[in-house]
């Protein structure tokens, strides 16, 4: 519980800076102090933290970006051109490359036995 | 019986640890759920790689009176595989979110395991005999030429080495658009519920192609979304009653007899907030990560980021007890938000109890009444509701001498750190204990660190 300023024995003007700081910390709940820290770092942080943006992100977990529409459109456009293949150096892939299902990182199931059973 | 009364604090000793020793943890090995079965003889774990490992307690050795049976591997199988939903461009993790055991009805054991989208009913059965002496088949399986058979014999069952087989008996799929966070078996032992972020469905264990939606909090306009379902559980005795918790710190109790769609709660449990304390973090840390009924069903426990609360089902406007798990983190919320730890979902559990005695006992305050939950730095906390004492213990390989009592730990929030205390800034936030379980009848607990499973038991004389 924060003690209101002006009560207790610390408000005497003794010039002790340390006690003044302690008084200030008592007045600001730790959560608010942390909030101020966060807002100082990220001034554009949304006003409604528990609101839609945050929850929508939670609901969208697992979203990958292979878009079959884009894939087929690009495939139709590139019909007559040489298609750049994925090649070993995937880092060079940019907008010209059409992602294929094969290029998506395949999540293989664990064929290895759990180490808990070891 | 659990040694009730007299304020005998339990002295916890290390018993076993399972899992790899190395610090480099593979994603698949991250433990995601731990659950004892109804007798406590079996202990199941699920991991991020979709695997289930079941341990079985050894029969008690009469000569070794100072310790209870050890848990050894009984069965392990791949429950779920990773999937890709091409239609929605959605990757479906194989991580096992929850395991729930069915009460045993026959020789086989059954459990439900779920990932984000699909629930599976697994049958675990033992085979210790095999038929031998077929007339038309050799022992290795090759068929015999019938013309070479001159006499007939009757095949008999002969003993063989114990084989434990797990087979999926039911697959409950395609009922959840969002991510499943809970499953709970009804006290009728015929139905169960599954809950995702916005909906709760009711299933019959025998029927996989149909499921009833009993709660739907999806708003017509998704931009108006303010709250999601975080956990749900059936009441232990009343088969028409269940509760679900939300990301805003509320719990709703619903009665399925009231209507087919339980969008209107029968009770709403919510602690009023002090508006002067409100901050950016308030709602996030009030989000309930777990809800568990007491064995009698009179109380329920909820876990939010910083505390454990006990609610009396007869009182909706505030919890009857609140226990601080790690209050010193309140002044670290900024960095815990930045490293995402503020979103960690801790579970909580009650001590096991003899339900019959609880009902018969005139004075329930004599019964051991302890709740447990995890924290960071591989610490876990226990709160004794009778004595109001709490303790912090650590799951670490450094304390792994059997029958050595665990030393209580202390975190120093500020100021001068005493010897043996750990300062908040030295805590390892990568070492989280999210999942713990308490044996239903004995003082044996299973505590999961990131990739290891610890088993502790009380010191027996």
Separation of alpha carbons B72 and B55, rounded Å:
5
Angle at B432 between CA B430 and CA B438, to 5 degrees: 165
| Span B125-159, pLDDT tens digits | 999 999 999 999 888 888 988 898 899 999 999 99
Q: Which of residues 14-43 of A touch B (CB under 8 A)?
A: 29-35, 37-39, 41
Residue B350 pairs in a beta bridge with B371
Distances (CA, A) of B380 to B52, B163, B212, B457: 23, 36, 38, 14
Residue A87 is predicted with a pLDDT of 44
Distance from CA of B21 to the nearest CA of A (A): 10
Residues B182-186 have a mean pLDDT of 98
Residue B301 pairs in a beta bridge with B292, B310
Distance from CA of A117 to the nearest CA of B (A): 6
**Which residues does chain B have within 8 Å of residue A55's beta carbon, measured at their own beta carbons?**
225-228, 247
- Is A34–B93 a contact, with Cβ atoms under 8 angstroms apart? no
Q: Which residue among A59, A67, A114 sits closest to B47, beta carbon to beta carbon? A: A114
For B281-378, strand residue ranges (E) read: 290-293, 299-303, 307-312, 321-324, 348-350, 370-374
- Is B50–A109 a contact, with Cβ atoms under 8 angstroms apart? yes
Is any Cβ of chain B less than 8 angstroms from the Cβ of A80? Answer: no
**Strands B370-374, B31-36: pairing kind:** unpaired
Q: Which residue among B19, B224, B279 sits closest to A116, beta carbon to beta carbon? A: B19
Is any Cβ of chain A less than 8 angstroms from the Cβ of B45? Answer: yes
**Which residues does chain B have within 8 Å of residue A118's beta carbon, measured at their own beta carbons?**
19-20
Domains of chain B, residue spans: 12-458
Distance from CA of A9 to the nearest CA of B (A): 21
Is any Cβ of chain A less than 8 angstroms from the Cβ of B212? Answer: no
Distance from CA of B128 to the nearest CA of A (A): 21
Separation of alpha carbons B38 and B103, rounded Å:
6
Say whether pLDDT at A11 is over 50.
Answer: no
Question: Who's near B206: CB < 8 A, 6+ residues apart?
Answer: B170, B190
Distance from CA of A36 to the nearest CA of B (A): 9
| Span B285-323, pLDDT tens digits | 999 999 999 999 999 999 999 999 999 999 999 999 999
Separation of alpha carbons A20 and A50, rounded Å:
35
Is any Cβ of chain A less than 8 angstroms from the Cβ of B304? Answer: no
Residue A17 is predicted with a pLDDT of 45
Could you tell me the pTM of the whole model? 0.84
Separation of alpha carbons B395 and B221, rounded Å:
46
Strands laid side by side in the B191-195 sheet: B182-185, B191-195, B199-204, B207-216
The answer to whether B251 and B243 have CB atoms below 8 angstroms apart is yes
**Which residues does chain A have within 8 Å of residue B345's beta carbon, measured at their own beta carbons?**
none
Name the closest residue on chain B to residue A1, using Cα atoms: B277
- Is A31–B228 a contact, with Cβ atoms under 8 angstroms apart? no
Q: Which of residues 265-294 of B touch A (CB under 8 A)?
A: 276-277, 279-284, 287
Q: Is B243 exposed, middle or buried (0-12, 13-18, 19+ CB in 10 A)?
A: buried
In this prediction the ipTM stands at 0.72
For the domain with range B12-458, which CATH number is right: 3.40.50.1820, 1.10.1740.10, 2.130.10.10, 2.40.160.10? Answer: 2.130.10.10
Residue A66 is predicted with a pLDDT of 61
Name the closest residue on chain A to residue B22, using Cα atoms: A115
| Span B387-402, pLDDT tens digits | 999 999 999 998 778 7
Is any Cβ of chain B less than 8 angstroms from the Cβ of A81? Answer: no
- Is A116–B45 a contact, with Cβ atoms under 8 angstroms apart? yes
Separation of alpha carbons A62 and B178, rounded Å:
11
The answer to whether B206 and B189 have CB atoms below 8 angstroms apart is no
- Which helix H or strand E contains B333, and what residues bound it? helix B333-338
Residue B78 pairs in a beta bridge with B51
- Is A115–B225 a contact, with Cβ atoms under 8 angstroms apart? no
- Is B89–A66 a contact, with Cβ atoms under 8 angstroms apart? yes
* Residue of A110, A111, A112 to mutate when probing chain B, most B C-beta within 10 A: A110
| Span B319-368, pLDDT tens digits | 999 999 999 999 999 999 999 999 999 999 999 875 545 555 555 555 67
- Which helix H or strand E contains B209, and what residues bound it? strand B207-216
Distances (CA, A) of B335 to A25, B164, B286, B332, B374: 19, 47, 17, 6, 20
Distance from CA of A23 to the nearest CA of B (A): 16
Residue A86 is predicted with a pLDDT of 45
Separation of alpha carbons B95 and B52, rounded Å:
10
Tokens in use for B22? Answer: 């190395």
Is any Cβ of chain A less than 8 angstroms from the Cβ of B77? Answer: no
- Is B281–A34 a contact, with Cβ atoms under 8 angstroms apart? yes
The region of weakest confidence among A103-107, B266-270, B450-454 is A103-107
Spacing of C-alpha B174 from chain mean position: 24
Residue A78 is predicted with a pLDDT of 63
């Amino acid at each position: 519980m924060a003690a209101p300023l002006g009560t207790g024995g610390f408000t005497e003007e003794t010039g002790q800076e340390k006690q003044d700081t302690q008084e200030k910390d008592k007045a600001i709940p730790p959560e608010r102090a942390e909030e101020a820290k966060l807002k100082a770092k990220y001034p554009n942080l949304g006003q409604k933290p528990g609101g839609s943006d945050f929850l929508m992100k939670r609901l969208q977990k697992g979203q990958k970006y292979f878009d079959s529409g884009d894939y087929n459109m690009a495939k139709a456009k590139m019909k007559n051109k040489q298609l750049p293949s994925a090649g070993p150096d995937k880092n060079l892939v940019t907008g010209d490359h059409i992602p294929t299902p094969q290029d998506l990182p395949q999540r293989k199931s664990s064929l290895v036995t759990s180490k808990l059973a070891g | 019986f659990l040694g009730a009364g007299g304020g005998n604090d339990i002295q916890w000793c290390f018993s076993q640890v399972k899992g790899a020793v190395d610090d480099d943890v593979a994603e698949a090995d991250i433990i995601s759920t731990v659950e004892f079965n109804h007798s406590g003889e079996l202990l199941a774990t699920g991991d991020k790689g979709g695997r289930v490992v079941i341990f079985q307690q050894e029969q008690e050795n009469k000569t070794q009176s100072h310790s209870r049976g050890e848990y050894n591997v009984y069965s392990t199988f791949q429950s779920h595989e990773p999937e890709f939903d091409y239609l929605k461009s959605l990757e479906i993790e194989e991580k096992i979110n929850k395991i729930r055991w069915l009460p045993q009805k026959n020789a086989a054991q059954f459990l439900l395991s779920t990932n984000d989208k699909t629930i599976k009913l697994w049958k675990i059965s033992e085979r210790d005999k095999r038929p031998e002496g077929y007339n038309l088949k050799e022992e290795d399986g090759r068929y015999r030429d019938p013309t070479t058979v001159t006499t007939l014999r009757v095949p008999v069952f002969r003993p063989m080495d114990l084989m434990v087989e797990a087979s999926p008996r039911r697959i409950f799929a395609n009922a959840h658009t969002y991510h499943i966070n809970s499953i709970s078996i009804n006290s009728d032992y015929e139905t169960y519920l599954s809950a995702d972020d916005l909906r709760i469905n009711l299933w019959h264990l025998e029927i996989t192609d149909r499921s009833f939606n009993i709660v739907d909090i999806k708003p017509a306009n998704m931009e108006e979304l303010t709250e999601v379902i975080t956990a749900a559980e059936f009441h232990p005795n009343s088969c028409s009653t269940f509760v679900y918790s939300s990301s805003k710190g509320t719990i709703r109790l619903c009665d399925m007899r009231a209507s087919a769609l339980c969008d209107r709660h029968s009770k709403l449990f919510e602690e009023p907030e002090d508006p002067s304390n409100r901050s950016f973090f308030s709602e996030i840390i009030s989000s309930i990560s777990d809800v568990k009924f007491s064995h009698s069903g009179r109380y329920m426990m909820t876990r939010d980021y910083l505390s454990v609360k006990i609610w009396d089902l007869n009182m909706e406007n505030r919890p009857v007890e609140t226990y601080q798990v790690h209050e010193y983190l309140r002044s670290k919320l900024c960095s815990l938000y930045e490293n995402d730890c503020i979103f960690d979902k801790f579970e909580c559990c009650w001590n096991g109890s003899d339900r019959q005695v609880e009902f018969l006992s005139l004075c329930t305050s004599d019964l051991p009444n302890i709740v447990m939950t995890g924290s960071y730095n591989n610490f876990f906390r226990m709160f004794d509701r009778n004595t109001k004492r709490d303790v912090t213990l650590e799951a670490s390989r450094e304390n792994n001498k059997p029958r050595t009592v665990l030393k209580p730990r202390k975190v120093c929030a500020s100021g001068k750190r005493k010897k043996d205390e750990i300062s908040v800034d030295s805590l390892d936030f990568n070492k989280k204990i999210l999942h713990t379980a308490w044996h239903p009848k004995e003082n044996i607990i299973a505590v999961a660190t990131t990739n290891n499973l610890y088993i502790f038991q009380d010191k027996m004389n």
